[in-house]
């Protein structure tokens, strides 16, 4: 676990992200790319830079998560769990299901994601510069983990949902970039691969990462981060045996434990016992946009762009549940805001052990098994931690509701609606065109082969 604050730094010597989204391979004020990519330090810097882009506010610094949660709201105040109160038109379009192809936030998510993919491809293609074969293997495994993470969220946001009920998920997914791009003046046109092909790439990448990553890798991804992400992927595919196996591995072998209280799982500067993988945020790098959009002004936020509604609070059957009461009223505007995000330089929790317990509980219930623990024991472990009354029996509906109570505002909402084939407020079905991001206008303008999503 992390004991000191690590400063993730951007890729100054290798890649600078320019204002138009291209990766500048030849920043004249720094160093020639041919020099950077010829040294072990240069390749290491590129990998560190990929992590740094990961922490960008438009990526996993928060806005990917906020976007996924806003997509799961109806935009109708009386029925939504969380109300968008901010001034960002890009997010309001997600909230009201009126997204346009020039939505700037959609563009930024696409752009940052492919910057990470390109940087990790650069690492893998130039890994021969790393002299220590063990270090080289770990670096490639980290690159594979980052690619698996990014492709997974790209395909979930920009493509129709994976459907286990069909033989081949041939619907268009996202563009797979198997090689690094060094010359952005060349024709980079490419069609989107199928959803099935993208999922196969994700699973292969994460399995390789799990095999080659160490159990302890400092602040970076380790083997259990890869296996935990695999559990999340398998759950999205409704592959419950594989999800159960992966979740059980992490719970049994990672050394992670639930934090003593629900509050302890959030707003920390150093990784906690519950963290499987967290995005590092510091005053020098990273951008905690969760605090920006969820927090009041006195904690570094905008006053509460996202407001908690009573429809969410009513999902709790126990008024003493700490998760129900983990919020506060902004005295400046009277909005009820989440207490999950009140440290603007706090790390962003990406994978918590609580999620793996929920995955194990759901998979065991659906399979009629009790590997590791019964679903009732798993769910009650979370309720006990939250000081909520334990259940005496358990249903699937209760397990799914427990995900809402435990993981709210952490970027799961729309993906759970899609994988369970639910709907949003009885208005938007799980496979609605309006719940899929458009391919950004800038991409369709420059990519002669790419196909736009239906309805845009």
Note whether 192 and 154 are within 8 A (CB): no
pLDDT, tens digit, for every residue of 301-353?
Answer: 999 999 999 999 999 999 999 999 999 999 999 999 999 999 999 999 999 99
**How high is the pLDDT of residue 123?**
97
| Cβ-count burial 233-259 (b if 16+ within 10 Å, e if not) | bbbbbbbbebbbbbbbbbbeebebebb
Give the integer Cα–Cα distance in Å for 449 and 188: 9
Give the integer Cα–Cα distance in Å for 175 and 253: 35
pLDDT, tens digit, for every residue of 263-293?
Answer: 999 999 999 999 999 998 887 777 899 999 9
**How high is the pLDDT of residue 76?**
83
Note whether 127 and 79 are within 8 A (CB): no
Give the integer Cα–Cα distance in Å for 288 and 427: 32
Q: DSSP character for 267? A: S
The domains located in the chain, with CATH, are 8-75+90-162+175-189+422-456 (1.25.40.390), 214-420 (1.25.40.390)
The distance from CA 87 to its chain's CA centroid, rounded to whole angstroms, is: 24
Give the integer Cα–Cα distance in Å for 172 and 197: 9
> Which mean pLDDT values do the consecutive 10-residue runs of the chain (456 residues) have?
32 35 38 77 95 95 97 87 96 97 98 97 97 97 98 98 95 98 92 98 98 95 98 98 98 98 95 95 84 96 96 96 98 97 95 98 98 98 98 98 98 98 94 98 97 97
Note whether 54 and 279 are within 8 A (CB): yes
Q: Which two tokens stand for residue 362?
A: 């759901």
Q: What are phi and psi of 278, to 5 degrees?
A: -135, 150
**How high is the pLDDT of residue 365?**
98
Give the integer Cα–Cα distance in Å for 288 and 65: 11
Give the integer Cα–Cα distance in Å for 246 and 362: 13
| Helix, strand or coil, per DSSP, at residue 451 | coil
Sign for the CA dihedral angle at 286, 206, 171, 180 comes to positive
**How high is the pLDDT of residue 1?**
32
Q: Which two tokens stand for residue 57?
A: 């506010």
- For residue 170, the tally of other CB atoms under 10 A from its CB is 11
- For residue 41, the tally of other CB atoms under 10 A from its CB is 12
């Amino acid at each position: 676990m992390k004991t000191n604050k690590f400063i993730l730094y951007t890729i100054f010597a290798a890649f600078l992200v320019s204002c138009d989204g291209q990766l500048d391979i030849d920043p004249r004020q720094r160093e020639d790319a041919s020099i950077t990519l010829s040294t072990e330090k240069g390749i290491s810097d590129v990998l560190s830079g990929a992590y740094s882009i990961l922490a960008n506010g438009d990526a996993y610094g928060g806005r990917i998560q906020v976007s996924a949660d806003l997509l799961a709201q109806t935009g109708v105040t009386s029925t939504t769990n969380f109300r968008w109160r901010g001034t960002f038109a890009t997010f309001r379009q997600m909230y009201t299901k009126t997204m346009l192809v020039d939505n700037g936030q959609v563009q930024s998510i696409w752009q940052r994601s492919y910057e990470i993919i390109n940087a990790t491809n650069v690492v893998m293609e130039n890994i021969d510069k790393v002299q220590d074969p063990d270090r080289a293997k770990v670096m490639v495994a980290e690159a594979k983990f980052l690619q698996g993470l990014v492709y997974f969220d790209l395909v979930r946001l920009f493509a129709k949902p994976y459907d286990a009920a069909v033989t081949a998920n041939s619907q268009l997914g996202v563009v797979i970039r198997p090689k690094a791009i060094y010359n952005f003046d060349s024709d980079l046109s490419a069609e989107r691969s199928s959803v099935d092909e993208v999922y196969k790439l994700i699973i292969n990448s994460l399995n390789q990462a799990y095999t080659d990553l160490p159990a302890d890798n400092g602040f970076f991804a380790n083997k259990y981060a890869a296996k935990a992400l695999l559990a999340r992927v398998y759950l999205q595919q409704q592959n419950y045996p594989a999800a159960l196996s992966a979740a059980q591995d992490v719970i049994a072998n990672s050394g992670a434990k639930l934090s003593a209280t629900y509050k302890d799982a959030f707003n920390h500067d150093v990784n906690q016992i519950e963290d499987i993988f967290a995005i590092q945020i510091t005053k020098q790098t990273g951008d905690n946009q969760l605090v920006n959009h969820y927090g009041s002004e006195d904690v570094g936020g905008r006053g509460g762009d996202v407001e908690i509604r009573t429809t969410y609070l009513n999902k709790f059957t126990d008024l003493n549940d700490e998760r129900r009461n983990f919020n506060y009223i902004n005295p400046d505007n009277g909005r009820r805001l989440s207490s999950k995000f009140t440290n603007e330089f706090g790390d962003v929790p990406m994978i918590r052990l609580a999620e793996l317990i929920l995955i194990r509980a759901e998979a065991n219930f659906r399979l009629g098994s009790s590997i590791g623990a019964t679903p009732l024991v798993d769910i009650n472990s979370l309720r006990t931690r939250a000081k909520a009354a334990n259940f005496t029996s358990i249903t699937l509906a209760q397990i799914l509701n427990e995900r809402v109570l435990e993981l709210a505002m952490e970027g799961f909402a729309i993906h759970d609606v899609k994988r369970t084939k639910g709907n949003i407020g009885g208005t938007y079905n799980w496979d609605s065109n309006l719940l899929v991001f458009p391919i950004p206008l800038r991409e369709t303008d420059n990519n002669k082969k790419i196909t736009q999503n239906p309805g845009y």
